[in-house]
Amino acid sequence: MRVVIQRVSQASVTVDSKIVADIQKGLLVLVGIEDADTQEDIDWLAGKIIKMRIFGDENDVMNCSVQDIDGDIIVVSQFTLHASTKKGNRPSYIKASKPDFAIPTYENFVQAIEKELGKKVQTGIFGADMKVSLLNDGPVTIVMDSKNRE
């Protein structure tokens, strides 16, 4: 699993001119799923995302997690995170999972985030043409891959 985590002051997802997710302070999490992803990958990423100290404390030092600040989260599926750009100029998405595997894995990931966070998480709509709007705070953007746990 690959995720791009963005600390946001505001974020929303629109599908067919309708806002389907909208948060203020929190995280926008883009997630790409591959067939090799397991429950261990889901649990590891969910725990890291919720506990990651990337929000400012009273001294504006990044010591607080999204949970510490009672922030919200939007999770958006994004198969293009598994793009291979090795050959030519047109990315290949061969590593990205097909919907029959990706949808239940994505839903499981959202549930794991909700369990760790202790509240409902907003989402985009899997497979839809989504318009994602955000105000990146900082900017703070972190890329993680559950197969490369650095």
Residues designated as active site: 80
- Determine the Cα–Cα distance for residues 107 and 83; give it in Å rounded to an integer: 21
2-15 and 130-145 beta bridge pairing: antiparallel
Judged by DSSP in three states, 6 sits in strand
* Sequence-distant (≥ 6) Cβ neighbours of residue 146 within 8 angstroms: 1, 2, 37, 40, 41, 44, 45
Q: Where are the beta strands (DSSP E) in 24-90?
A: 26-32, 55-56, 62-64, 72-77
- Please tell me the total number of residues recorded for the chain in this structure: 150
Phi-psi region of 70 (alpha: psi -120 to 50; beta: other; left: phi over 0): left
